[in-house]
Amino acid sequence: MKCAALLAGGGRGQRHGGTIPKQYQMLDGMPVFRRTLMAFLDHPAVDTVLAVIGAEAADLFAMASDGLEVRAVTGGASRTASVRAGLEALAEDPPDLVLVHDAARPFVSAGLISRLIAAANQERGAAPGLAPADALKRLRGGDLAGGDIERRGLVQVQTPQVFPFRALHAAYARLPASADLPDDIAVARAAGLECTIIEGEAGNFKITRPGDLQRGAALLRQRKATATVSATGFDVHRLVPGEAMMLCGVRVAEGLALHGHSDADVALHALTDALLGSIGAGDIGAHFPPGESRWKDADSARFLRKALDLLAAEGARLVHADLTIMGERPRIGPYRGAMRAHLSAMLGLPLRHVSLKATTTEGLGFLGRGEGLACLASVSVNCPLDQDQAVS
């Protein structure tokens, strides 16, 4: 599936202040826009990145994107017009999915991008959202507290908002030239295209008001105060006759299957255990008990996503994964490229940070007799230090 990222950066950022638009102001020594570009350029599932910029910002964008492989087009007078211009440019070589994101939202994580792509399809889009944490009230007379607003059922929507490209392109094309809608969900829903809301991230905030750059710099300092930890996971499943097995999330049709309560993907099980171990969160059996019927024949990618969500909740970030599959059969070589690519997309890691090896046991033991398949997974994770650790 081909994915394109469209970064809307044509605004002037008047609420934020400053002599240049907020997306070009410096954040810890780097333009905000550049940080946002790099988040998508570094993601293995994103094939194309297109920036939409203001007519007067060509020189600023050239400096912000220096050395990056990214194309830019000029936007319009509103966000709606700018996104429409970007979609028109992408229509020259249309992707399957398009992620529309605010250029002034530089802290979007690779994990969030991956989860959004996984949640979208050709019938509906996906967007991140957070439930309001504070009480909501209407204002009366300009600045006086009025009645309460029920928070249940409300969500603060973030970007990127991901949609099937052709459907979103058509929805924008049907709008009048003067249209100015708040976001892409509004455009999509006006055309009958639904959007699933998934859990967003508090750190994925938009540089909007004075003080947001300082908040962003503090977040970057906090992220730098980390320790890299390593953890391992190991799993074994019995080989049985069958049409195919799932291995690293890839279907391997070699006349063998793996026996287990779920889909028995021994590689994803070992990897899930390694991720859980990196934050001291127990093991896969504690989170997904094999005796529960709801996990019968379950896709092991669900287990992996849960582990990644737990890492994100702890402020931890996966930086490298190394898997060794052990057994006499099936042959891994013909599938290795597809497996690495699939792992890269699921983990939100560059391909170079995903290692996959295979070995035999020289005919020794139950693996050597072809009775089973095992996997050893090792991960490296950046974990935030506690405040007292960071100070010391």
For the chain, counts of helices (H) and of strands (E): 13, 19
In percent, the amount of the chain with pLDDT more than 90 equals 75
Q: Which domain holds residue 77?
A: 3-224
CATH number at residue 207: 3.90.550.10
CATH number at residue 247: 3.30.1330.50
Per-residue pLDDT tens for 263-313?
999 999 999 999 999 999 889 988 888 878 888 889 999 999 999 988 887
Domain count, the chain: 2
Q: Are residues 274 and 218 in the same domain?
A: no
Residue 226: pLDDT band with limits 50, 70, 90: confident
d(CA 309, CA 40): 19
Q: Are residues 220 and 230 in the same domain?
A: no
Q: Are residues 244 and 141 in the same domain?
A: no
Which residue, chain included where needed, has tokens 């070995």?
359
Q: Are residues 169 and 77 in the same domain?
A: yes
Q: Are residues 170 and 261 in the same domain?
A: no
Q: Are residues 156 and 237 in the same domain?
A: no
- Calculate the CA 9 to chain-centre distance: 20
> Does residue 386 have a pLDDT over 70?
no
Average pLDDT over residues 63-89: 95
Q: Are residues 286 and 387 in the same domain?
A: yes
d(CA 101, CA 209): 18
Per-residue pLDDT tens for 174-197?
999 999 999 999 999 999 999 999
Q: Are residues 203 and 259 in the same domain?
A: no
Q: Are residues 217 and 271 in the same domain?
A: no
pTM above 0.85, yes or no: no
Contact assessment for residue 161 and residue 117, using Cβ atoms and an 8 Å cutoff? no
